Amino acid sequence: MSTESAQEFYGRWARLYDVIARRTPGIAQLRRRAAAACRLEPGDTVVEMGCGTGANLPYLRERVGPTGTVIGIDFTRQVLERARAATAEYDNVSVLRGDATRLPVGAEVEAAETDGGGGIDAVLATFVVGMLEDPVAAVDDWCDLVGPDGTVVLANAARSEKWYAPPVNAVFRMIVILSTPPTTRLHYENDPHIRLDEKIDAAHARLRHRSVAVVDETHVFGVVRLTGGRLE
């Protein structure tokens, strides 16, 4: 998916996406679990890449408390407006428009990265790497951004490998096709859910390779993979 079509797609569907991101059954537990996997302490700094409408931000804020810092980054203006409105009550949560694959993004991230800013303790990216041209390079950049003892956490929906996978995967394939522009095509030369799976496999494998596992598990009938690693 190109940058322009991703921004156009999420811009147009920001409102609907926000409802799905917050209200899908089981999603709140998953977001809480992903935030916990970031191993944050009160006062820490966490950056969320591709934060969308900000559904993870309250859980991250809960972890770092009032003295910590939460920075959400996304390149789609309309989703960021929702994220900003949803977190307006917190003065230590900021959302920035920028490309998560071109770091550093903005003065806040640069300031946090320096020793004076205490460094970035964790990076979280949920349902994002499948959209990136080079997810492995992005994972490398995020690992470099947190540095030694920092944590990187990925959560993504990919094909289930459970024994009951076929019907679950059929539903999943339909969701991917419907949420991958152009949504009107029924036949693809390169089926988007297979390409998506490859990207997600590669990103999670890279994180496992670069870090020591703190969490590696599946949720929602095996469709959602959650991998977290501590950098050495």
- Return residues touching ligand SAM (CB under 6 A): 6, 10, 21, 50-52, 55-56, 73-76, 79, 99-101, 126-128, 131-132
Tell me whether residue 56 or residue 160 sits nearer to ligand SAM (CB atom). 56
Query: How many angstroms separate the CA atoms of 200 and 8, rounded?
Result: 22
Minimum CB separation from ligand SAM for residue 232, in Å? 26
Minimum CB separation from ligand SAM for residue 73, in Å? 6
Supply φ then ψ for residue 172, to 5 degrees: -60, -40
Cα–Cα nearest to 157, from 180, 132, 128, 178: 128
Tell me whether residue 73 or residue 112 sits nearer to ligand SAM (CB atom). 73
Query: How many angstroms separate the CA atoms of 26 and 9, rounded?
Result: 24
Supply φ then ψ for residue 47, to 5 degrees: -115, 130
Cα–Cα nearest to 21, from 60, 57, 55, 48: 55
Query: How many angstroms separate the CA atoms of 106 and 51, rounded?
Result: 15
Tell me whether residue 128 or residue 196 sits nearer to ligand SAM (CB atom). 128
Minimum CB separation from ligand SAM for residue 124, in Å? 8
Tell me whether residue 127 or residue 221 sits nearer to ligand SAM (CB atom). 127
Minimum CB separation from ligand SAM for residue 20, in Å? 8
Tell me whether residue 56 or residue 151 sits nearer to ligand SAM (CB atom). 56
List CB contacts of 84: < 8 A, sequence separation 6 or more. Answer: 54, 95
Minimum CB separation from ligand SAM for residue 153, in Å? 11
Which residue is it, tokens 């969320």?
A: 48
Minimum CB separation from ligand SAM for residue 131, in Å? 4
Contact of 147 with 75, CB cutoff 8 Å:
no
Contact of 102 with 126, CB cutoff 8 Å:
no
Tell me whether residue 8 or residue 118 sits nearer to ligand SAM (CB atom). 8
Determine the distance from the C-alpha atom of residue 36 to the mean position of all C-alpha atoms in its chain, rounded to a whole number: 14
Closest residue to ligand SAM, Cβ-based?
A: 52
